[in-house]
């Protein structure tokens, strides 16, 4: 990925889901590229409206997708004969289910007072888990299975006064049990529809009219979010994430210019806007714990920068968190090449973050393979905007990932003593 752009909200033009549909229509009308990935979807509800949203997200991720659909509400049948459903082997199979369809009878009984219905629901989840395990044995590609959202299309409501004892208890038990049992099916990727629905907003996610007309329960805007999340999982299974973040310092790691404002004059700490830069550093430290290396490329006096790292109480990042640095007055493209060579990675593994538009544009011209990010001018938006670029998605974080940066630090210190 290169030429990532500004880390700022996308507020221009038509809604994202409208653009996604137009992009997908254009792709289908041209279809010049041979599809390089087949993603089969089967669902307990009608998934047709999800296709353009997922298709658009996959196009943005660099794929040329084909998205065949299985028959309506044939999740179990697909697990036992997926080739018939999708006319051969796809690369990815997505199984989406909800309580409203899969456990409609058990849910209705439970909220009416039949507590034995919960055990029956567990048995039904066990049947689903065994079906997915069968699919896993017969299908070599990626399997994505949903965990259910809180049920909408039922007499019970999320805000009913008895929800914690009735509908809420049923849902939480089913969600936890399904997560445990589907994980046991082996090498299956789970997608949490309830978390996505809560983040999006349950009322905005559900479309009662479409549910009654088409047995399609979701708004197009929510399906766009769902398609984006599915595309992230699919991409993470096939494309290696970036390995290193190269950061400017002034107005990037902290507010202000240390060479002009002094160490105690920069903004980093508990008060805004310093708190926003502090949150950005927390995000960077989180990524470091997942195996992402941190490096500096700053036009500054080196002593001033390290004084901030070593002495400013507001700093979350410390000197030892930085795996490599180039703090000088040389062109940043040359410094990025040098950092990549020092870290023994390609420049295509770098993410460059700077608040200076000129510096970002220069990297885009000279090193187009680098993911170059112009930092948002509004500090409060920085963390969400950068995180939402999803440059470091991984399906699993290994012990090696978690220890990578610290092991590199250990080797650097050992080499310095040799």
What residue ranges define each of the domains in the chain, with the CATH number in brackets?
33-236 (3.40.50.1110), 244-417 (3.40.50.1000)
| Contacts for 56 with CB less than 8 Å, ≥ 6 apart | 19, 20, 21, 23, 24, 224, 227
Phi, psi of 46 (to 5 degrees): -75, 120
pLDDT value of residue 88: 95
- The DSSP element (H or E) to which 147 belongs, if any, is strand 142-147
Helix (H, G, I), strand (E, B) or coil at 410: helix
pLDDT in tens, the chain (418 residues): 344 554 444 556 789 999 999 999 999 998 677 899 999 999 999 999 999 999 999 999 999 999 999 999 999 999 999 999 999 999 999 999 999 999 999 999 998 889 999 999 999 999 999 999 999 999 999 999 999 999 876 666 666 665 556 788 899 999 999 999 999 998 999 999 999 999 999 999 999 999 999 999 999 999 999 999 999 999 999 999 999 999 999 999 999 999 999 999 999 999 999 999 999 999 999 999 999 999 999 999 999 999 999 999 999 999 999 999 999 999 999 999 999 999 999 999 999 999 999 999 999 999 999 999 999 989 999 999 999 889 999 888 888 888 888 888 888 777 777 6
- Are 207 and 217 contacting, i.e. CB atoms less than 8 angstroms apart? yes
Number of residues that this document lists for the chain: 418
- The DSSP element (H or E) to which 373 belongs, if any, is strand 371-374
pLDDT value of residue 265: 95
| Closest-CA residue to 332 (of 312, 314, 350, 317) | 350
End-to-end CA distance of the chain: 38
- The DSSP element (H or E) to which 145 belongs, if any, is strand 142-147
How far apart are alpha carbons 315 and 165 in whole angstroms? 45
Tokens of 34: 């041979």
| Neighbour tally for 295: CB within 10 Å | 22
pLDDT value of residue 410: 81
- Are 73 and 81 contacting, i.e. CB atoms less than 8 angstroms apart? no
> Based on the number of CB atoms within 10 Å of its own CB, is 33 exposed (0-12), middle (13-18) or buried (19 or more)?
exposed
How far apart are alpha carbons 206 and 219 in whole angstroms? 6
According to DSSP, residue 365 is labeled H
């Amino acid at each position: 990925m290169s030429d990532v752009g500004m880390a700022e909200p996308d507020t221009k033009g038509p809604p994202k889901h409208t653009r996604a549909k137009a992009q997908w229509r254009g792709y289908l009308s041209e279809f010049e590229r041979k599809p390089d990935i087949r993603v089969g979807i089967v669902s307990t509800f009608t998934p047709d409206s999800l296709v353009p949203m997922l298709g658009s997200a996959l196009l943005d991720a660099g794929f040329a997708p084909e998205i065949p659909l299985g028959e309506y509400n044939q999740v179990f049948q697909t697990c036992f004969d997926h080739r018939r459903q999708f006319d051969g082997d796809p690369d990815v199979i997505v199984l989406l289910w909800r309580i409203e369809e899969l456990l409609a009878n058990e849910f209705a009984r439970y909220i009416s007072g039949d507590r034995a219905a919960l055990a029956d629901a567990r048995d039904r989840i066990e049947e689903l888990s065994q079906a997915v395990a069968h699919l896993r044995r017969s299908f070599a590609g990626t399997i994505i299975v949903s965990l259910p959202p809180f049920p909408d299309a039922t007499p019970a409501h999320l805000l009913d006064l008895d929800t914690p004892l009735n509908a809420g208890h049923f849902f939480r038990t089913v969600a936890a049990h399904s997560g445990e049992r589907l994980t046991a099916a082996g090498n299956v990727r789970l997608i949490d529809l309830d978390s996505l629905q809560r983040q999006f907003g349950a009322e905005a996610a559900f479309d009662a009219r479409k549910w009654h007309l088409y047995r399609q329960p979701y708004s197009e805007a929510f399906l766009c979010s769902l398609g984006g999340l599915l595309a992230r999982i699919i991409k993470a299974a096939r494309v290696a994430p970036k390995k290193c973040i190269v950061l400017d310092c002034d107005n990037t790691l902290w507010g202000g210019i240390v060479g002009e404002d002094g160490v105690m004059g920069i903004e980093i700490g508990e008060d805004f806007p310093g708190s926003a830069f502090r949150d950005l550093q927390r995000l960077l430290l989180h990524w470091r714990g997942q195996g992402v290396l941190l490096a500096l490329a700053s036009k500054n006096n080196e002593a001033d920068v390290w004084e901030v790292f070593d002495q400013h109480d507001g700093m979350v990042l410390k000197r030892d968190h930085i795996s490599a640095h180039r703090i000088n007055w040389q062109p940043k493209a040359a410094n990025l090449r040098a950092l990549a060579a020092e870290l023994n990675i390609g420049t295509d593994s770098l993410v460059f973050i700077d608040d200076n538009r000129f510096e970002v544009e220069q990297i885009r011209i000279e090193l187009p393979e680098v993911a170059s990010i112009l930092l948002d001018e509004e500090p409060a938006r920085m963390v969400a905007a950068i995180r939402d670029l999803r440059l470091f998605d991984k399906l699993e974080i290994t012990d090696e990932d978690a220890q990578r940066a610290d092991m590199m630090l250990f080797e650097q210190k050992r080499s310095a003593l040799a």
